[in-house]
Amino acid sequence: MHFPDIADLTDAALAQRLQRKLDNKTKPPGSLGRIEALALQLGLILGSETPQLTQAQLVVFAGDHGLAARGVSAYPSDVTWQMVENFLAGGAAVSVLARQHGLSLTVVDCGVRHEFAPRTGLQVRKVGPGTADALEGPAMTSAQCEQAVRNGMDLVRDLPGNALLLGEMGIGNTSAASLLLARLGGHDVAECTGAGTGLDGPAVQRKIAVLREVLARHADVTGPMAVLAALGGFEVATMVGAVLQAAAERRVVVVDGFIASAAVLVARGLNPNVLQRCVFSHRSGEAGHGLMLRHLGVSPAQPAVPLLDLGLRLGEGSGAALAWPLLVSACAILGEMASFESAGVSQKN
């Protein structure tokens, strides 16, 4: 399968100009903390000393998982399609937050076990009615996995703007994310697995046992695409394609929680340069997300540090939407805040 070319954004001269501009604002150097680092990153992604975010797109990727029949979730699979209806009706948390922040919200049926009536805000990119049970065989065939990735690439090509906020919905998809982290990150699955939708302690242990069996069933599977096909979900694979295309188009990619980070993990395996475009919105309350963020660190000195740490574990893109105003503020600081010279303010001795 052909993946888009994703250029290295390293630009020492632009980084130096951005840092000088930030240091010359009417404030002590570094006093805006992480907002300054965020402003510099956005400038590098968008290739500008005055980056502007335009027509931001919040996309919720939805799909069902055959593994959900193994009791790895506290909720039945029907909740996936019911929540898609809730998103489209404007009643979900992410719907509220998208309205509040003026974000365009699109819901994508990547593989939900339900047929939706056509309407505004819904895109049907269904590969199948949910993945297969990964304990019995690959969750997806290679062809299905490639189709889902292509669907994500095509979807982003058709969206306006220069920022993509990732969201997802799929009962059982924390299990898929845990499996992907365990296999691609080389971690014990118990470290990668949490309560998901709200399992109690004994149920989490049963979930871990099921996931161990799945990993054993696919012990010989290696490589990002093969692992994604064996263990992932249609919504995760579609998100991988969306991340790759957004990165190729030099869009800002705002990553939500555990499942969205799992898609970035796969995309990074296909091209490490995707991480340069990624802003990690928050650290999820899901057990494996902190481990995922540490694993995704660009280097030991440059971890994938999230903007927020609020104990969120809803998914949907809710954390990405909550962090969005920080990106807007970072751009405004670069573009609108006065310099010492323009404001006639004395600098430190």
CATH number of the structural domain spanning residue 100: 3.40.50.10210
Are 251 and 336 within one domain?
no
Cα–Cα distance for residue pair 333/86, rounded to 1 Å: 36
Classify strands 252-255 and 122-124 as parallel, antiparallel or unpaired: unpaired
Count CA atoms within 13 Å of residue 271 on its CB side.
Answer: 21
- Domain assignment present for residue 1? The answer is no
Inter-residue contact 319 to 168 (CB < 8 Å): no
User: What are the C-alpha distances in Å from 343 to residues 79, 186, 239, 332, 337?
Assistant: 55, 53, 45, 17, 9
Tell me the pairing of strands 163-169 and 57-63. parallel
Amino acid at residue number 8: D
Residue 21 sits in which domain range? Answer: 12-52+332-343
Residue holding tokens 């719907």? 95
For residues 87 and 17, state if they share a domain.
no
Strand ranges, E, within the chain: 57-63, 104-111, 122-124, 163-169, 252-255, 278-280
Residue 87 lies in a domain: yes
DSSP H or E stretch at residue 101: helix 93-101
Neighbour count for residue 151 (Cβ, 10 Å): 24
In a domain, 114, yes or no: yes
Using DSSP, state whether 164 is helix, strand or coil.
Answer: strand
Residue with tokens 């997806």: 140
Q: Is residue 5 part of a domain?
A: no
On whether both 61 and 47 belong to a single domain, the answer is: no
- Does 246 share its domain with 336? no
Asked if residue 2 is part of any domain, the answer here is no
Active-site positions read 316
> The domain that contains 28 carries what CATH number?
1.10.1610.10
- Within this chain, do residues 72 and 31 fall inside the same structural domain, yes or no? no
Task: Judge if 173 and 122 occupy the same domain.
Answer: yes
Q: Which residues contact 278 (CB under 8 A, 6 or more apart)?
A: 243, 253, 255, 264, 304
pLDDT at residue number 301: 44
Question: 82 and 29 in one domain?
Answer: no
Question: How does pLDDT run along the chain (349 residues), one tens digit per residue?
Answer: 899 999 999 999 999 999 999 999 999 999 999 999 999 999 999 999 999 999 999 999 999 999 999 999 999 999 999 999 999 999 999 999 999 999 999 999 999 999 999 999 999 999 999 999 999 999 999 999 999 999 999 999 999 999 999 999 999 999 999 999 999 999 999 999 998 888 999 999 999 999 999 999 999 999 999 999 999 999 999 999 999 999 999 999 999 999 999 999 999 999 999 999 999 999 999 989 999 999 998 544 455 689 999 999 999 999 999 999 999 999 999 999 999 899 888 887 6
User: Residue 254 pairs with which residues in a beta bridge?
Assistant: 165, 279
* Count of domains for the chain: 2
For position 33, what pLDDT does the model report? 94
For residue 6, tell me if it sits in a domain. Answer: no
Question: Is 103 domain-assigned?
Answer: yes
What contacts 24+ positions apart, CB below 8 Å, involve 83-87? Answer: 83/169, 83/316, 84/109, 84/112, 84/114, 84/116, 84/122, 84/169, 85/116, 87/60, 87/121, 87/169, 87/316
- Residue 134: count of CB within 10 angstroms of its CB: 29
Is residue 252 within 8 A of residue 45, CB to CB? The reply is yes
Whether 205 and 272 map to the same domain: the answer is: yes
> In the prediction, which pLDDT does 56 show?
98
Residues 295 and 191 grouped into a single domain:
yes
DSSP-derived letter for residue 29 is T
Q: Largest Cα–Cα distance of the chain, in whole Å?
A: 70
Q: Are residues 43 and 86 in the same domain?
A: no
Handedness of CA 297, 298, 303, 305 (dihedral sign): negative
* Strand partners for 13: none
Q: For 231, phi and psi rounded to 5 degrees?
A: -120, -20
User: Within this chain, do residues 31 and 174 fall inside the same structural domain, yes or no?
Assistant: no
pLDDT at 97: 98
Shared domain check, 268 and 126: yes
Q: What is the rounded distance in angstroms from the CA atom of residue 240 to the CA atom of residue 243?
A: 5
> What is the number of other CB atoms lying within 10 angstroms of the CB of residue 349?
3
**Cα(111)–Cα(127) distance, rounded to whole angstroms?**
6
In a domain, 192, yes or no: yes
Look at residues 258, 241, 266 and name the one whose alpha carbon lies nearest to residue 185.
266
